[in-house]
Amino acid sequence: MKNIVLIGMPGCGKSTVGVLLAKAMGFRFIDTDIVIQNRTGRLLQQIIDEDGLDAFCIEEERAIMSVEEQGGCVIATGGSAVYSRSAMLYLKQHGYIYYLSLPVEQVEKRINNITTRGIAMRKGDSIADVFRRRRQLYEEYADITVECSGKSLEDTVAEICEEHKLLG
């Protein structure tokens, strides 16, 4: 069975849904943000602050490309994973990509630690700016878009489980 790959904006629930989904499906769970932190020994925000956004994106791509699981995993990516075409094609080769879609207003309400969370964004950008840049990429790479607005975590997990069974 192919991996389940979760993409979407920070705050849309990739990590939380991912853990619950892995339990429900009997899959392993991998959070690529944690892979980055383990590989570098630093927090995401430290990498961005000390090395810059481009270096962070390179680390993110390396972390994703290091995930060697060939099935049976739920992989929660960082929100900026879609900036790397090679990383996304690698993930797509081994899994189905689910875009956890949430309106920007709800994303903004969920993120209250924008300067310390490790969000790959340019200085002076707002969450709305980041959303505008990424939305098209999320839609481009997604095999399935899961609308998360107004749904419980359990509903979102159940929908992904059902879709994944249909995909095979």
CA distance 93 to 3: 9
- Write out the two tokens for 154: 């359990």
User: Which of the following CATH numbers is that of domain 3-157: 3.40.50.300, 3.30.300.10, 3.20.19.10, 3.40.50.620?
Assistant: 3.40.50.300
pLDDT tens digits, 109-150? 877 665 555 677 778 888 889 899 999 999 999 999 999 999
At 57-99, the pLDDT tens digits run 999 999 999 987 778 999 999 999 999 999 999 999 999 999 9
Whole-angstrom CA distances from 75 to 51, 64, 78 are 25, 9, 10
- What radius of gyration, in Å, describes the C-alpha atoms of the chain? 15
d(CA 57, CA 28): 25
pLDDT tens string 28-61: 999 999 999 999 999 999 999 999 999 999 999 9
The whole model's pTM is what?
A: 0.93
Residue 8 has pLDDT above 80, yes or no: yes
